[in-house]
Amino acid sequence: AFSSCPRCFSTDSHVNVLGQYYSKDSATNITASIIDKLDRKLHQQPAHPLGSLRSLIESHYPSFTHLSNFTPLVTPAKNFDDLSFPADHPGRSASDSYYINKDLMLRTHTSAHEVETFAKGERKWLLTADVYRRDEIDATHYPVFHQVEGASIFPTNPTGIHDLEEDNARLADYLKNSNIVIEDIPHITGSNPRQPTHDPRQAELVAQNLKLSLNSLMLTLFGGRAGVGGGEPLRVRWIEAYFPFTSPSYEVEVFFHGKWLEILGCGVVLQSTLDRANVPDSIGWAFGLGLERIAMILYSIPDIRLFWSQDPRFLNQFAPGNIVPFVPYSKHPSCYKDISFWVPEQGLHENDFCDLVRDVAGDLAENVKMVSRLRCDADLANKHYRLTRSHIRKREGTVDVTA
Ligand code: FA5
Ligand code: MG
């Protein structure tokens, strides 16, 4: 019981997560490398690409409450039951999700916080958080990624209908003058039905509000950016989808670099969720969007693992709110070469030497520095050369190019 893991301080019987000990049971499957990620909070770092992207999305919804500090530890009830996931849903299994023990898990999506956020009285909000799913390892999959949940609910009365009509008119007007092509589908169909308790007219208005709102968000994120097509219109496609906690449900895809890319899932919130949150006389929508996939496009970041890099060559490329393409760097540490050589009688400008290095090594050369220069006859120079060599040998790992 006392053989504790030096990395995560967990013992045979207990697991240490965010400074607290929890007893293990047959469901426990969280690992040390996942525990390491729990306190990183990449989305809360203003200069990090995920932090900048969060701010950009928040700036698109200025009147919404912006939340981003929820613990990743949730009960399975919060992650699944509150959202009407069936008892046998595959997401619940230990092969898909991380469990601390039977009663506590890492959220698999930001929707886990819908009930508590509506219950607090928030009616229009965004919530950003890290989410955890057991998955394959490659350049676009990682067991931790980030989602933004967005939601907006309206009263089920004439005021609510009026608010929806007004907001829809405003958004439609904005989109009318924008360079966007939307491949739409009917809001409500037999296979993607409205909920039985909903007024048919208001259900249509809510679905329309959801679509208008997300189309305009896609414009904010992708409109007029390289790769989407400078001058070319932004193409957005709506697809019928299924989630246990929304009806109707949709997925949104954006056309980028010749391919359709899934950006988010969304839908009209299930009445049972709103009843559970104690806001029964409401109707509204929610969406859940993955930050990494969007950031990989906007910043030209080729590998999802880079978001977790603590290398200054990664982190120093970014400033708050500034979306600039990522410049790749070597995955290997720098390697240093000392070079000594004779220069012609008339001398050699340092820049001429740098051009020579550039011609030979290209961008592989990071830095060229002269450390000493000596003017003398051949004998003296030879002596100096030997001195320099021994000097270098003494200082192991000497790093400068010697001119
Ligand atoms: C969900 O997580 C739902 N909670 C979304 C939702 C919210 C639906 C509210 C309705 C209402 P999904 O598993 O499809 O759905 O994930 C949503 C988005 O997260 C995806 O569109 C994608 O952008 C991103 N995402 C999903 N899995 C990964 C992954 N392994 N790596 C990176 N991003 C991912
Ligand atoms: Mg999906």
Give the CATH number of the domain where residue 165 resides. 3.30.930.10
Q: What is the pLDDT of residues 211-220, one digit of tens each?
A: 999 999 999 9
* Mean of all residue pLDDT scores within the chain: 89
Average pLDDT over residues 310-322: 93
Looking at the structure, do residues 239 and 371 belong to the same domain, yes or no? no
In this structure, are strands 246-256 and 234-240 parallel, antiparallel, or unpaired?
Answer: antiparallel
User: What is the pLDDT, as a whole number, of residue 353?
Assistant: 83
User: What is the pLDDT, as a whole number, of residue 385?
Assistant: 66
The segment with the largest mean pLDDT, out of 58-72, 295-309, 386-400, is 58-72
Looking at the structure, do residues 346 and 248 belong to the same domain, yes or no? no
Q: Which of 288, 315, 342 represents a domain boundary (last residue)?
A: 315
Atom 19 of ligand 1, nearest CA residue = 290
Looking at the structure, do residues 282 and 255 belong to the same domain, yes or no? yes
Looking at the structure, do residues 198 and 230 belong to the same domain, yes or no? yes
Q: Do residues 240 and 189 touch, judged by C-beta distance below 8 A?
A: yes
Looking at the structure, do residues 152 and 243 belong to the same domain, yes or no? yes
Looking at the structure, do residues 121 and 270 belong to the same domain, yes or no? yes
Which atom in ligand 1 lies closest to the alpha carbon of residue 262?
Answer: 21
Distance 330 CA to ligand 1 centre (A): 31
Look at residue 302 and tell me whether its pLDDT is greater than 50.
yes
Angle between helices 158-176 and 200-222 (to 10 degrees): 30
Coil/strand/helix, residue 254: strand
Which atom in ligand 1 lies closest to the alpha carbon of residue 135?
Answer: 30
- Report if residue 80 sits inside a domain: no
- Report if residue 180 sits inside a domain: yes
- Report if residue 31 sits inside a domain: no
If pLDDT is split at 50, 70 and 90, which confidence band does 394 have? very low
Looking at the structure, do residues 235 and 354 belong to the same domain, yes or no? no
- Residue, of 358 and 329, whose pLDDT is higher: 329
Look at residue 2 and tell me whether its pLDDT is greater than 90.
no
- Report if residue 262 sits inside a domain: yes
User: What is the pLDDT, as a whole number, of residue 388?
Assistant: 60
Look at residue 128 and tell me whether its pLDDT is greater than 70.
yes
Looking at the structure, do residues 296 and 178 belong to the same domain, yes or no? yes
* Residue 265, strand partner residues: 251, 288
Angle between helices 200-222 and 291-298 (to 10 degrees): 40
User: What is the pLDDT, as a whole number, of residue 384?
Assistant: 67
- Report if residue 251 sits inside a domain: yes
**Ligand 1 — pocket residues by CB below 6 A?**
109, 111, 133, 135, 141, 145, 147, 243, 246, 262-267, 286-290, 292-293
Look at residue 57 and tell me whether its pLDDT is greater than 90.
yes
Looking at the structure, do residues 275 and 182 belong to the same domain, yes or no? yes
Q: What is the pLDDT of residues 129-176, one digit of tens each?
A: 999 999 877 888 899 999 999 999 999 999 999 999 999 999 999 999
User: What is the pLDDT, as a whole number, of residue 226?
Assistant: 58
What is the number of residues in the chain? 403
- State which of 114, 264, 266, 297 you would mutate to test the pocket of ligand 1, scoring each by most atoms of that ligand within 8 A of its C-beta: 264
Look at residue 190 and tell me whether its pLDDT is greater than 70.
yes
Distance 348 CA to ligand 1 centre (A): 60
Q: Which stretch of 85-89, 183-187, 221-225, 261-265 has the lowest confidence by average pLDDT?
A: 221-225
Look at residue 396 and tell me whether its pLDDT is greater than 80.
no
**Rounded Cα–Cα distance for residues 157 and 143 (Å):** 43
Looking at the structure, do residues 245 and 275 belong to the same domain, yes or no? yes
Average pLDDT over residues 226-239: 80
- Report if residue 87 sits inside a domain: no
Distance 221 CA to ligand 1 centre (A): 17
Q: Of the bound ligands, which one is closest to the alpha carbon of residue 289?
A: 1
- Report if residue 372 sits inside a domain: yes
- Residue, of 281 and 322, whose pLDDT is higher: 281
Number of domains in the chain: 2
Domain that includes residue 51, residue range = 40-72+107-315
Atom 30 of ligand 1, nearest CA residue = 141
Atom 12 of ligand 1, nearest CA residue = 265
DSSP string, 319-362: -TT---------SS------------TT---HHHHHHHHHHHHG
Sheet of 104-106: strands edge to edge? 73-74, 104-106, 99-101
Q: Which of 283, 315, 347 represents a domain boundary (last residue)?
A: 315
- State which of 53, 80, 111, 263 you would mutate to test the pocket of ligand 1, scoring each by most atoms of that ligand within 8 A of its C-beta: 111
Taken in order 32, 35, 40, 43, the sign of the CA dihedral is positive
Coil/strand/helix, residue 65: strand
Work out the end-to-end distance of the chain between its first and last CA atoms, rounded to an integer number of angstroms: 61
Look at residue 392 and tell me whether its pLDDT is greater than 60.
no
User: What is the pLDDT, as a whole number, of residue 400?
Assistant: 43
Q: Which stretch of 112-121, 222-231, 359-368 has the lowest confidence by average pLDDT?
A: 222-231
Which atom in ligand 1 lies closest to the alpha carbon of residue 109?
Answer: 2
Distance 179 CA to ligand 1 centre (A): 26
Looking at the structure, do residues 343 and 302 belong to the same domain, yes or no? no
User: What is the pLDDT, as a whole number, of residue 213?
Assistant: 98
- Report if residue 55 sits inside a domain: yes
Select from 318, 317, 327 the least CA-distant residue to 363.
327
Looking at the structure, do residues 171 and 237 belong to the same domain, yes or no? yes
Q: Residue 73 gets which letter from DSSP?
A: E
Q: Which stretch of 2-6, 115-119, 376-380 has the lowest confidence by average pLDDT?
A: 2-6
